[in-house]
Structure 1
Amino acid sequence: MSLQTFPVLILCAFYFLTNSYIYADQDEIVDVNTDWKWAVRKIKELEEQVRIQDERILTLEKRPTASEWTSMVDIRKTFQKQHDRIVQLEARIDELETQTEIENNELGETSSPERMHVSQSKRPMINSKRSMVKNARLLLQPTPVSVETVAFFAYFSTHNPPSMHHHILAFDTVITNVGNAYHPHSGTFIAPRTGLYVFTWTIRLWGNSYHTSELLVDNNIVNTIYLNPVNEIDGSVTGTAVVLVNQGDDVLVRTGSNYNNGDIKSDTNGRSSFAGWILM
């Protein structure tokens, strides 16, 4: 190697090292930006999850305890007993008033003019007392307890093939949804208020299909039904439950952990459906 070519090699090496350093810095900047965007996105996702959990916790904190619900039921029972007693007393008062009028009329027919005059002079007083009794009865009339109506009914628009275990049955055709608490896309009813509810669901099967289905309330199995037509019938089976549901609880129907095969049928010849409503 000559002395003339040596400086040229030095310059080439310096140029290569400088450009490599610049490109490395650019790659690191790109990597840092990518990591930063990912971190920001994850932070936003975590913040959204925390917000949802906070709302869920707030809903759970507002739920009445078992003792509070028992007290509410006892109060309503006491109220109903008092109402029944008031009705009985009103009937007895009407009976006594009628009997008193009959006795007064009989007494007036057989009494002297002087006694008739005294009886007539006391009549305004008697009428006044009757008016007071009637006013008191009006005040004792029970105050109606308003209950927010909640009810829904939905069915499958077509045959449904839920062959896997624990498959949520999303009944997609909604006929009734008072309170807008049933969500057809997820097949879930979310209780808008705490109360005693009735739920019922029907599963239609035929051929070699067989299924176990479960009603879940707040992720707890409340009732289970099973049907196997054994290639002999086109039939259906229905399950029903009366259960206390807290505000915010999810209620749904899903396939069981065992014995699931084939389509769940639903057409104009017979619907597979899900319904529920609040009692009190």
Structure 2
Amino acid sequence: MSLQTFPVLILCAFYFLTNSYIYADQDEIVDVNTDWKWAVRKIKELEEQVRIQDERILTLEKRPTASEWTSMVDIRKTVQKQHDRIVQLEARIDELETQTEIENNELGETSSPERMHVSQSKRPMINSKRSMVKNARLLLQPTPVPVETVAFFAYFSTHNPPSMHHHILAFDTVITNVGNAYHPQSGTFIVPKTGLYVFTWTIRLWGSSYHTSELLVDNNVVNTIYLDPNNHIDGSVTGTAVVLVNQGDDVLIRTGSENNNGDIKSDTHGRSSFAGWILM
């Protein structure tokens, strides 16, 4: 190697090392940017999950305890009794006012034979008025304290093939949804108000299909039904439950952990359906 070519080789080596460092540094910057974007996205996802959990916790904290619910029921009963008593007292007041008016009219009459004759002729009318007041009082019925209405009813628009155990049955055709608490996309009724509710569901099967279905309230199985037509009948089975539920509870129908096969039927010959309403 000559002395003239040695400097050229040194310059080439320096250029190669410099560019390699620059490219490596650029790759590292790209990797850092990618990691940073991923971290920001994950943070946003976690923040959204925390927000949802906070809302759920807030709803749970608002639920009344068992003792509070008992107090609420007692208060409602007391209000109902007081309301009934007020109706009775108002009827009694009307009766007394009528009697007082009649007696005042009687006292204002003179004792002359003519007046006595007129007074006696009015007595049947007076007795008739008293009888009308009494009958009106007896016909008065206590008015119940109004309850905020919550009710829903939905059914399958077509046959439904549950694909697995614990498959949620989303009844997609909604006929009634007072309170807008039933969600047909998920098949879930989210309780809008703490109270005593009735839930009922019907499953229609025929041929070789057989199914177990469950009513879940706040992820607890409350009632279960089963039907196996055994290729002999086209029939339906219905389950019903009366349950005390809390605001925010999820109520739904799903298939059981075993004994499930074939389609759940629903057409104009018979609907598979889900319904519920508040009692108090």
Give the TM-score normalised by the residue count of structure 1.
Answer: 0.81
- The runs of 5 or more residues in structure 1 that have no matched partner are none
Please report the RMSD computed on the Cα atoms of aligned residues, expressed in angstroms: 5.3
* Structure 2 counterpart SS, 1:124: helix
* Structure 2 counterpart SS, 1:157: coil
231 and 142 in structure 1: CA distance in 2 versus 1, 3 angstrom threshold: closer
Aligned residue pairs, count? 280
72 and 148 in structure 1: CA distance in 2 versus 1, 3 angstrom threshold: same
Distance (whole Å) between structure 2 residues aligned to residue 139 and residue 11 of structure 1: 115
108 and 116 in structure 1: CA distance in 2 versus 1, 3 angstrom threshold: farther
122 and 57 in structure 1: CA distance in 2 versus 1, 3 angstrom threshold: farther
9 and 278 in structure 1: CA distance in 2 versus 1, 3 angstrom threshold: same
- The residue aligned with 1:7 is 7
> What is the CA-CA distance between 1:156 and the residue it aligns to?
0.8
- CA-to-aligned-CA distance 1:163-195 (integer Å, 9 cap, x gap): 311111111111111111111111111111111
104 and 112 in structure 1: CA distance in 2 versus 1, 3 angstrom threshold: farther
- CA-to-aligned-CA distance 1:85-121 (integer Å, 9 cap, x gap): 5556667777888899999999999966799899999
88 and 146 in structure 1: CA distance in 2 versus 1, 3 angstrom threshold: closer
> What is the CA-CA distance between 1:59 and the residue it aligns to?
1.3
207 and 125 in structure 1: CA distance in 2 versus 1, 3 angstrom threshold: closer
User: Contact 1:205 / 1:227 at 8 angstroms: preserved in 2?
Assistant: yes
Distance (whole Å) between structure 2 residues aligned to residue 244 and residue 5 of structure 1: 95
79 and 128 in structure 1: CA distance in 2 versus 1, 3 angstrom threshold: farther
User: Contact 1:196 / 1:242 at 8 angstroms: preserved in 2?
Assistant: yes
- The runs of 5 or more residues in structure 2 that have no matched partner are none
User: Contact 1:163 / 1:260 at 8 angstroms: preserved in 2?
Assistant: no
- CA-to-aligned-CA distance 1:117-176 (integer Å, 9 cap, x gap): 999999999999999999999999988644221111111111111131111111111111
Deviates more, 1:61-70 or 1:139-148: 139-148
* Structure 2 counterpart SS, 1:79: helix
Distance (whole Å) between structure 2 residues aligned to residue 61 and residue 123 of structure 1: 68
Give the TM-score normalised by the residue count of structure 2.
Answer: 0.81
128 and 20 in structure 1: CA distance in 2 versus 1, 3 angstrom threshold: farther
- The residue aligned with 2:231 is 231
139 and 208 in structure 1: CA distance in 2 versus 1, 3 angstrom threshold: closer
* Structure 1 counterpart SS, 2:168: coil
Deviates more, 1:251-260 or 1:91-100: 91-100
What is the identity percentage for the equivalent residue pairs of Structure 1 and Structure 2? 95
